[in-house]
Amino acid sequence: YCKTYILGIETSCDDTGAAVVDNGGNILGEALNSQTDIHVQLGGIIPPVARDLHRQNIDDVVKLAMDRAKLKYEELNAIAVTVKPGLALSLAVGINYAKDLALKFRKPLIPIHHMEAHALTPRIETRIDFPYLVLLASGGHCLLAAAQGVDQFKLIGKGQDNSPGEAFDKIARRLKLITLPGMQGLSGGAAIEQLAQRGDPKSIEFPNSLSKHPNCNFSFAGLQTQANYFIAEIEKQNDIKGPEVIPGVADFCASFQYAITRHICQRVQRGLIYSDMKELITTDKKQMVLSGGVGSNMFVRRSLEKVCKHYNFELVCPPPKLCTDNGVMIAWNGMERLNANCGVLEDESAIKLVDL
């Protein structure tokens, strides 16, 4: 049978990613440059800084992915690139680069929706049939949806304020975790997960958010505010004014991670009941996909697994490195769109270039 190859390019936020996949779901070559380290030091993502880093790295990242795939640009069938949602300045770097390549080698360009790419990722290696539920929990988003087709998603619940990843990142920064040995280069969520392993999740009690709201939306702002308040209290009690980390930081991390996870699980539980009522998932084997950076958290995974099992759903999680932003998911979404015959741009004028 005939092989098709797609190059995927991702620059929506702070990761420059590229990968080549074939129509059999094989990852032929991939490369990633993460900016997390620099953004953690600066205290958050500054869009022009992210753009400059994408610009510096994109050429190397794409060439490395192509080298590893042992393919020439001429052999590609299409180029897929994230066009939304994301930071406009960051997106533009990838879009412009992909567009240049597409023009130079006369390849069709496939515009990719970043969240749809997260949602379709596990189909690259696992048999998952539509419709299925998907929970995306990342640094920019929290949403629960029914995936009904390659470009068909029904939103069931969404974050009302900040995202779980943002809550993890802000609290990790407030806790000064980056100053602890072994924490450099980790995202806020990953740092909290590591410390939480040695802590007691029941040591500090956080309030429940939205428990009386009859929908499937999410809210993390209240938990973040409460966490900041608790940290300030502990600092006051221990007369901490400088860069020292609070005593019992592992217990704090475990409790905070537990609170975030409990909220996610309770809202998803409502979503599972709702999807049953509305008969959204009609397959014999009901499945839910968990993806996005927060989906790489093992405590979140294990807890959600329990909830899913109770409602006869199987929880499917991509491997952690495919949960966070990467080029593979963009290339694979391109392949899905190509196979489903949707949204291939033969005419490059359909993508409006963003002025920088």
Q: Round to the nearest angstrom and report the end-to-end CA distance of the chain.
A: 43
Q: How far is the CB of 327 from ligand KG4 (least distance, A)?
A: 12
Q: Distance (Å, rounded) from C-alpha 85 to C-alpha 226? A: 29
Contact between 271 and ligand KG4 per CB under 6 A = no
The half-sphere exposure of 326 on its side-chain side, counting CA atoms within 13 A, is: 25
Q: How far is the CB of 186 from Zn ion (least distance, A)?
A: 17
Nearer to Zn ion, 255 or 296 (CB): 296
Handedness of CA 255, 260, 263, 265 (dihedral sign): negative
Contact between 131 and ligand KG4 per CB under 6 A = no
Of 50-58, 161-169, 203-211, 348-356: span binding ligand KG4 (CB under 6 A) = 161-169
Kindly report the number of other CB atoms within 10 A of residue 252's CB atom: 25
Kindly report the number of other CB atoms within 10 A of residue 21's CB atom: 28
Contact between 168 and ligand KG4 per CB under 6 A = yes
Q: How far is the CB of 294 from ligand KG4 (least distance, A)?
A: 4
The single residue listed with the structure tokens 């397959």 is 283
Apex CA 217: angle with CA 212 and CA 223, to 5°? 75
Contact between 116 and Zn ion per CB under 5 A = no
Give the H/E segment covering residue 265.
Answer: helix 249-277
Nearer to ligand KG4, 27 or 294 (CB): 294
When binding is defined by CB under 6 A, the residue of 324, 328, 337, 345 that contacts ligand KG4 is 324
Q: How far is the CB of 282 from Zn ion (least distance, A)?
A: 28
Enter the tokens of residue 356.
């920088």
When binding is defined by CB under 5 A, the residue of 188, 325, 335, 338 that contacts Zn ion is 325
What's the Cα-to-Cα distance from 59 to each of 56, 89, 252, 348, rounded to whole Å? 7, 17, 42, 20
Q: Distance (Å, rounded) from C-alpha 251 to C-alpha 198? A: 7
Q: How far is the CB of 326 from Zn ion (least distance, A)?
A: 9
Q: Distance (Å, rounded) from C-alpha 48 to C-alpha 204? A: 39
Instruction: Answer with the entry of ligand KG4, Zn ion, none that 190 interacts with (C-beta below 5 to 8 A by kind).
Output: ligand KG4
Q: How far is the CB of 323 from ligand KG4 (least distance, A)?
A: 7
The single residue listed with the structure tokens 């909830």 is 307
Chain residues 272-311 in contact with ligand KG4, contact rule CB under 6 A = 292-294, 296-297
What residues does 32 pair with on adjacent strands?
A: 17
Nearer to ligand KG4, 108 or 292 (CB): 292
Q: How far is the CB of 279 from ligand KG4 (least distance, A)?
A: 30
Q: Distance (Å, rounded) from C-alpha 18 to C-alpha 4? A: 17
Query: What amino acid occupies position 219?
Result: S
Asked if 10 and 95 count as a contact pair (C-beta separation under 8 A), the reply is no
When binding is defined by CB under 5 A, the residue of 34, 36, 138, 217 that contacts Zn ion is 138
Chain residues 30-89 in contact with ligand KG4, contact rule CB under 6 A = none
Q: How far is the CB of 229 from Zn ion (least distance, A)?
A: 29
When binding is defined by CB under 6 A, the residue of 29, 122, 189, 327 that contacts ligand KG4 is 189
Contact between 94 and ligand KG4 per CB under 6 A = no
Contact between 256 and ligand KG4 per CB under 6 A = no
Q: Distance (Å, rounded) from C-alpha 53 to C-alpha 284? A: 46
What residues does 153 pair with on adjacent strands?
A: 147
Q: How far is the CB of 14 from ligand KG4 (least distance, A)?
A: 8
Nearer to ligand KG4, 189 or 271 (CB): 189
Given the rule CB under 6 A, which residues bind ligand KG4?
13, 138-140, 165, 168-169, 187-190, 193, 292-294, 296-297, 324-325
